[in-house]
A and B are shown apart, each in its own frame.
Chain A
Amino acid sequence: MDNPDDYILRVSNLSVTIQDQIILDNINFEVKKGTTLAIMGPNGAGKTVLFRALLNLVPYSGKIEWRDKIKTGYVPQNLSAGDIPISVKEFLSFKDASNIENSLSAVGLDSKNILDKRLGVLSGGQLRRVLIAWAIIDKPDVLLFDEPTTGVDLDSEESIYMMLRDLSKKYGITVIIISHDVHIVTEYSDYMLALNKCMNFFGESKELKNPSLQTIIYGEPVCRHEPSPTVD
């Protein structure tokens, strides 16, 4: 039997409308502590808006209930650090200057080599790791990660997901990621939520191996106000 304390987040009847356009319609899901939830869906499905709603950055209707005293760390999809003369050390110290070296080593970066580098000259993989270091620097309970491997080469992609899994296990961090990659979702997440403005599926990620489910995820929106479809 489920213990209510196991859940770190419960979302019910969540809808978001921006400039008269329905972006999210009646979304329901929950996230267990220490698990990884992957959010999937085609472009324009409302994945990033869902993140913004979870972070209270956009107005919404319905309920988003985080467990009490939950600290969230957020890693955005894009940064515009290009020509801003800011070092990695300065960037991280915006959040917490006391824990920079620990958080860099937790994401596999050597402080000596990277602290004085300009943020804008880092490779895609290094930048992603620095962003994760930013997110975990104040020891969050939940990590929200928008497209973890944007701008990252294929070799680094897998290592970033492995690192996320290790962080989740080591520190008991709950991870919520947005991803397009079916292989990554089945391999590195426990649960998945398929969005296409409405909720097409919510369940265990291993079910994604079933081809008929993939059709549901990437097919037309299935806007039903009832539990997710079951797959044979």
Chain B
Amino acid sequence: MNQAQRLIDLMLETLIFSLIVGISVGVAAGYLGSLMVLEKMALVGDALSHVALPGLALGILYGFNPFFGAFAFLFASAVLIWQLGRITKLSFETLVGAVFTLSLAIGILIIPEPELLEALFGDITTVSLMDTIIAIVVSIVAILLTRTIYKGIVLGMISEELAISKGVKVARMNPLYLLLVSMTVAIGIKITGTLLVGFLVVTPAAAAKTISSNLSRYSMLSSIFGGVSAFSGVLLSSYLNLHPGPLVVLAGIVIFFTAVLIRWTKPSSF
């Protein structure tokens, strides 16, 4: 009886940790993703997430927290892509496409097979207290720092000349933003896996953009939709005993089509 109770407590604890991680990463990814979608880099956000796989594999192989491996690979790739873009003048999408497939190939080759599914589609049964603390801290830092550069990046999108003439350091903001996206994606991997974490960066923002006429509503809705998608997916995953990643995606898609329906029925409001 005691053992059964302990098992239930443990499962409950893991579920609570997973829900907290899910909400944290969902809100942060939704907020940061709102910029990614405006920059028309939605596919970049999606592809960037897969780059984490080799780092994740190294964490599993050498017994350190896979978050750090994932983050290190994401950030190194983001910097590599940035530099290659400056040197070759190739488009960001092209370079991300190349680096993404390379990373996916390396990751699949080196990751132990039993852990491959977890890495690709997420697993809430292994979320620890440390993962939860990291997720909360990283999400808060990512949101707060992004808040400080949000207006500058948007102004740069509207007119780079206006932004520069107002003293906005556009060239410095983009690498910082990519770093923050890398951090957020790295924590999201635990919940949704590398294949689907990009969804959290893209779809909540797409849903929010469909029914927003101003920036503050857009970024707020994007954060809420991200949080709700992740929360619902994790809860369903626990209930149905399935990988959380696909369920987070399904929950988010329901929100997206609801937003499309609202827009369709009241187009003049937005």
Contacts and interface: CB of A to CB of B under 8 A. Distances in A.
B114 to A, nearest CB: 45
Nearest to A89: B214
A134 B161 CA distance: 13
Contact of B218 (A57, A85, A134): A85
Contacts of A84: 38, 154, 157-158, 215
B2 interface: no
A79 B214 CA distance: 17
Interface in B151-179: 151, 154-155, 157-159, 161-162, 164-166
A225 interface: no
A133 B166 CA distance: 15
B241 interface: no
Contact of A52 (B151, B161, B213): B161
A222 to B, nearest CB: 29
Main secondary structure of the interface of A (DSSP, over half): loop
Nearest to A95: B166
Given A85-B215, A87-B215, A94-B151, A80 B165 contact: no
A207 interface: no
A86 B164 contact: no
Interface residues of B, number: 21
Contacts of A204: none
Contacts of A87: 213-215
A95 B155 CA distance: 10
B209 A85 contact: yes
Given A84-B154, A86-B154, A94-B155, A57 B161 contact: yes
Given A80-B157, A94-B151, A94-B155, A85 B213 contact: yes
B212 interface: yes
A119 B213 contact: no
A162 interface: no
A32 B249 CA distance: 62
A57 B165 contact: yes
Nearest to B221: A85
Interface string B171-199: 00000000000000000000000000000
Contacts of B38: 84
B215 A86 contact: yes
Contacts of B161: 52, 55, 57, 74, 76
Nearest to A91: B158
A7 to B, nearest CB: 22
B164 A57 contact: yes
Nearest to A57: B164
A78 B157 CA distance: 12
Nearest to B152: A94
A228 to B, nearest CB: 29
Contacts of B213: 85, 87, 116, 118
A72 B162 CA distance: 12
Contacts of A72: 165
A146 B270 CA distance: 31
B159 A79 contact: yes
B209 A80 contact: no
B166 A81 contact: no
Most buried by B among A55, A72, A91: A91
B3 interface: no
B215 A79 contact: no
Nearest to B213: A118
Contacts of A79: 158-159, 162
B157 to A, nearest CB: 6
Nearest to A51: B161
Given A94-B166, A116-B213, 7 more contacts: A57-B164, A72-B165, A79-B159, A84-B215, A85-B213, A90-B215, A95-B166
Pairs A-B, 3 closest by C-beta atoms? A87-B214, A85-B212, A85-B218
13 contacts: A55-B164, A57-B164, A57-B165, A76-B159, A76-B161, A78-B159, A80-B157, A83-B209, A84-B38, A86-B158, A86-B214, A90-B215, A94-B155
